[in-house]
Amino acid sequence: MSTSKPMYLQIYEDLHTSIRNQSYVPGDLLPSEKAICEQYGTSRPTVAKAIKMLSDAKFVRRRAGFGTQVLAPDFSGLSAGLLIPEFPDTEIFTPIVDSIIENSPAYELQITHPYELNRSQDRKAMALAQAEQYIKKKVKGVFFAPLENISDPEAFNLRIVERFTEKGVQVVLLDRDIYPWPRQTSFDLICIGNIEAGFTMADHLLENGCTQLAFVSPRNPAMTVGHRIIGTREALVQKGFSARSLLSVEYDHKDPGKAAARLLNSNVDGIVCANDTTAAVILRSLLDLGAKIPDQIKVCGFDDVKYASLLSVPLTSYRQPCQVMGRLAVETMVNRIKHPERPPHHIAFHGTLIVRESSIPSA
């Protein structure tokens, strides 16, 4: 899956950022469509699409023969913020957020971005500061991806959502719940079925002749990784293997060769990695140790990030339906803001197995 941003969406986001940062204030005219075309080296219809998105979101007004004028913010409508502390470091969030931004005008939902904070800040401090920003802005809702890899994440994430609830801000969770499975919070959730995803990937390896599987993950993996391990074990059981036969390997990103050596010495012939980032590192380390992929060992990952097909051995992966997830997230948020009394919806999407040479030899 390519996560490169469409040009019209890049133009929209750049202009929206300039309006939000008051580079253009209410009453100002945006550059002409011709000037924007020249700036970005793109076509008139592409620029027109970006301007239409700004107009639909009521950031600007288009006046024939006059130009495109910036409007004063309208805080009376529906507005929602994006609280995704791991956004810069987790590639899968990029296409989901792009889809949320792209689909929000059709639902008359204004997406509010947090002000840039000090990136050297502790992630917990940054998340708390951004949450307070949104409360101060009086947004109606927040899309929130709970933090992982922090001390006591459950208590911290509950603190965030309870703060929003206290102020009447609706919350739609993205990618993961706050509680470990099978417990569930009382908030809407948009995600993929990670147990099913793990099952699908392991079943693919077993169907293609693997008999000894390993699951490789970094230290302190995300909750979603735990779900994928559950699915992997279930696939083993359904194929007549013991769930305990799954070799769990933790890798240190500073020394991935150690994990690769352990995998080779354990006679593993199929590896399910926590995500594509992990898979890319492990695949490279195995090749450096002389492993033959996929003939000796088959490797796969999750998320189908943009470089998965570009690795020295193209990677089999599990693609998330990010465009649909973003659209349903917007729809869910609007429904939640308008009908806060309704029961929560947990929407788990099916992904798609993308088979490449890392698990199947090329013809």
User: For the domain with range 78-191+323-347, which CATH number is right: 2.40.50.140, 3.40.50.300, 3.30.365.10, 3.40.50.2300?
Assistant: 3.40.50.2300
User: What's the confidence (pLDDT) of residue 2?
Assistant: 42
Is pLDDT above 70 for 61? Answer: yes
User: For the domain with range 7-70, which CATH number is right: 1.10.10.10, 3.40.50.720, 3.40.50.2000, 3.40.50.2300?
Assistant: 1.10.10.10
Q: In terms of Cα–Cα distance, which of 273, 277, 275, 316 is closest to 294? A: 316
- pTM over 0.75? The answer is yes
User: Do the first three CATH levels of 7-70 and 78-191+323-347 match, i.e. the same topology?
Assistant: no
Amino acid at 324: V
Do 67 and 30 form a contact (C-beta atoms < 8 A)?
Answer: yes
Q: State the CATH architecture for 194-319.
A: 3-Layer(aba) Sandwich (3.40)
Q: What is the pLDDT of residues 149-192, one digit of tens each?
A: 788 889 999 999 999 999 999 999 999 999 988 888 999 999 99
Report domain extents, the chain: 7-70, 78-191+323-347, 194-319
Q: Any idea which of 9-13, 128-132, 203-207 has the lowest mean pLDDT?
A: 9-13
The whole-angstrom separation of Cα 51 and Cα 16 is 10
- Which residues does 337 contact at the CB level (< 8 Å), separation at least 6? 78, 80, 140, 141, 170
In the structure encoding, which two tokens stand for residue 349, read together? 């999407």
The whole-angstrom separation of Cα 220 and Cα 145 is 17
User: What's the confidence (pLDDT) of residue 306?
Assistant: 84
User: What's the confidence (pLDDT) of residue 173?
Assistant: 98
Q: In terms of Cα–Cα distance, which of 183, 136, 119, 193 is closest to 157? A: 183
User: What's the confidence (pLDDT) of residue 178?
Assistant: 94
Is 131 or 89 the better-scoring residue by pLDDT? 131
Q: Please state the rounded mean pLDDT for residues 107-129.
A: 78
Amino acid at 41: G
